[in-house]
Amino acid sequence: MKIALSIGTSDEAVRFVKQLGLRHVVSGLSGTPSGILDFSSLMRTRTFFEAAGLTWDVIENLPTTHYDKVMFGLPGRDEQIANVCTSIRNMGRAGIGVLQYQWMLLGGLRTEYSPTGRGGARYSRFDLEVSQRMPAASMDWLGDGPYPHLPDRKLSAEEVWDNLVYFLERIVPVAEEAGVKLAIHPDDAPIPSFMGVARIMTSLEALQRVIDAVPSPCNGLGFCQGTIATMAGVDAVAAIRRFGGQGKIFFAHFRNPRGQVPKFDEVFPDEGDTDMFEAVRAYREVAFDGVMRIDHCPGVIGDNDRSHRSFAYQVGYTKGLMQAVEAMDDSTTAKGENGLQPALTVNKTAKEPPDYPADGENGLQLALTVSWQQDRDMIFAQQLGVNRIVAEVDRWDAETLSSVRNRVEQAGLKLAAIEKLPQSLYEKAILGLPGRDEELERVCQAIRNMGVAGIPLVSYRWTSPWDRQSEVVFRGRGDAVVSGYDEARPPRTSSSVEQKVTAEAVWDNLTYFLERVIPVAEKAGVKLAIHPDDPPVPSLGGVARIFHDVASLIRLFERVPSPYHGLDLCVGTLATMPGADVIETIREFGANKRIFMVHLRNPRGTMPSFRDGFLDEGDVDMLEALRALQSVGFAGPIRAACPPEMVGDTVWGHKARALDVGYLRALLESVERDGF
């Protein structure tokens, strides 16, 4: 299966598709006065995509103006058929193998496009009652305008069938000679008639009939899974097996509506009625190796007119499903055989913290790190189906922290944690400088205030300086800007201390810090989660960095044991530690309940040089990482970190975060399935 998007010939579109990790595109061409897809135009478009490293596999939707007279059985249809045959020959010469067309005489139908979805996302809807009451509005659902021929009489189903068969009998032999597959799209919405004109591609029996009407290896389906799923009483997964088993799925649309005729909504792929994991398994079972295009998407807050955020989420989700299905089908490991043995010491004299999350929910929990003052970002999180927030704050008084929690909860979300105590609160404590006791008191008061505000968790780091990026700008997939580190190049903004601080001094300073802070945290009911050193180097700027390997993390929890002290486990940082086994480390610390929160990023390479990238392309098997977290019963916040900078994205990285969240959601849903 090859994931694709439908795009035009712009540099931005090409960069976006490549940054998503796609190598295939689908594109349509506008109608021409001649009614012919010109060979030179086809070659220009193909050359444009090939120069960008992309393959143009499918022409999507032959312009209806090229064959509308055929559909309606009007004079001039034979001339149109001759032109379509010329277009097919030109496609064959240009090496474009699939032509999708449709037989919807009055086009696609929707009756509403409004913010009715999760987080106020805009969903398109079809309601048969509304379409019958306001038919003209139903025809113009995406601004394409009415079709060229409004009916002056009723057209029966058999008339429409006769016109279709007449068309196929004349173009299929040409397609066979040209090596082009013809893929008919089912009628969307799949209702029997509209404005007196029959709609015939509305059932599985109709799809079989069109295949059988003109038998040919070049006559098959543009299998719109979403449309088929809205056919009354149809099981979309069974339909994949039925038509895929015949080798008749030439091209697929991948979406997941909720509801069937007479009323349905187009929703996010993780919330529709079809089991999308089973759908991908079915495509795999029938050996479908064609292009699967991500189809209609809900409207997401702040998105551009090309719906990049929404498409990024759906591409990530589809990628995650494909990875999970392949792993499940290929796996021979029995579920639960992980051989976990506790290996760390925990202070049992301290009271045990409540299991996270406190509301009793189980399972792995996706979270996003956002500024609590950015309402639009919290709405964005809801629209992606994320209901936990890890907040960034700049004030630590009880009133502000309570306001943070209240604002998050008023948005319908849950505040899982605060992202890192600021270094300014305790830098002297790290370096062992005069004034550290005053800093420690400020830290303790901040923790007390978190307890008063009911915030259960905060992360911190024990590094000074904090800089991790090299001067060089790393370029990733599709020329995306990614973070990274190269030991041969100094950090970009690193500062140095006047006197070097040794590893033992840093250890002593940390012990001094924890011996005073942890009792306060235990009393306040607030967990502390330390983030490993990033990059994991022995020293930086004259200050030793002590958490650059797994052994140092084990030493930490043995040195100052407490059930309120654990890891902000950064999978990416672990992956860049030479010799570290990420999955086994998760199992070891997770089995001892020392993982409180998780950062997911997926770099390539280990020290002395690495670069970050998208979650689906690094050295860590993210599916196995999540399976390991599930196997140890982890239920804290999991969030993607360090998203690459994508074309046209915001500073916060909405497109990249949507891609990551979609990918992780599919993996999380998969690991929680029975039998995985």
Q: For residue 216, what are its two tokens?
A: 């040919």
pLDDT at residue 159 tops 70: yes
Spatial separation of the C-alpha atoms in residues 5 and 20, rounded to whole Å:
10
pLDDT the model gives residue 609: 92
Neighbours of 34 (CB within 10 A): 11
What token pair was written down for 444? 């303790």
pLDDT of 359 strictly over 70: no
pTM of the full structure: 0.92
Least confident of 142-146, 384-388, 393-397: 142-146
Residue 388 has pLDDT above 50, yes or no: yes
Report the C-alpha gap between 530 and 457 in whole angstroms. 11
> In angstroms, rounded to a whole number, what is the distance separating the alpha carbons of residues 613 and 599?
14
3-state SS, one letter per residue, for 210-279: HHHHCCCCCEEEEEEHHHHHCCCCCCHHHHHHHHHHCCCEEEEEECCCEEECCEEEECCCCCCCCCHHHH
Ramachandran region of residue 646, left (φ > 0), alpha (ψ -120 to 50) or beta? beta
Say what the pLDDT of residue 246 is. 98
- Asked whether the beta carbons of 292 and 249 are under 8 A apart, the reply is no
| Whether the Cβ atoms of residue 635 and residue 605 lie closer than 8 Å to each other | no
Report the alpha-carbon distance of residue 270 to residue 662 in Å, rounded: 9
Neighbours of 363 (CB within 10 A): 13
Residue 404's φ and ψ, nearest 5 degrees, are: -60, -50
- Domain 2-106+154-299 CATH (choose: 3.40.1180.10, 3.20.20.150, 3.30.910.20, 3.90.180.10): 3.20.20.150
pLDDT in tens, 313-354: 999 999 999 999 999 887 633 333 333 333 333 333 445 555
Burial group, residue 101, by CB count within 10 angstroms (0-12, 13-18, 19+) = buried
- Rounded average pLDDT over 72-94: 97
**Any idea which architecture 365-669 has in CATH?**
Alpha-Beta Barrel (3.20)
CA 168 to chain CA centroid, nearest Å: 39
Residue-wise pLDDT tens digits, 452-474: 999 999 999 998 765 555 556 78
Window from 101-110, 143-152, 165-174 with minimum mean pLDDT: 143-152
pLDDT at 178 over 80: yes
Quick check: helix, strand or coil at residue 36? coil
Distance separating alpha carbons of residues 281 and 386, to the nearest angstrom: 26
What is the separation of C-alpha 407 from the centre of its chain, rounded to a whole number of angstroms? Answer: 26
pLDDT tens, 628-655?
Answer: 999 999 999 999 988 999 999 999 999 9
Q: Where in the chain is the domain with CATH 3.20.20.150?
A: 2-106+154-299, 365-669
Q: Which structure tokens are listed for 660?
A: 């990551």
pLDDT in the model for residue 101: 97
The span from the CA of 529 to the CA of 566, in Å, is 5
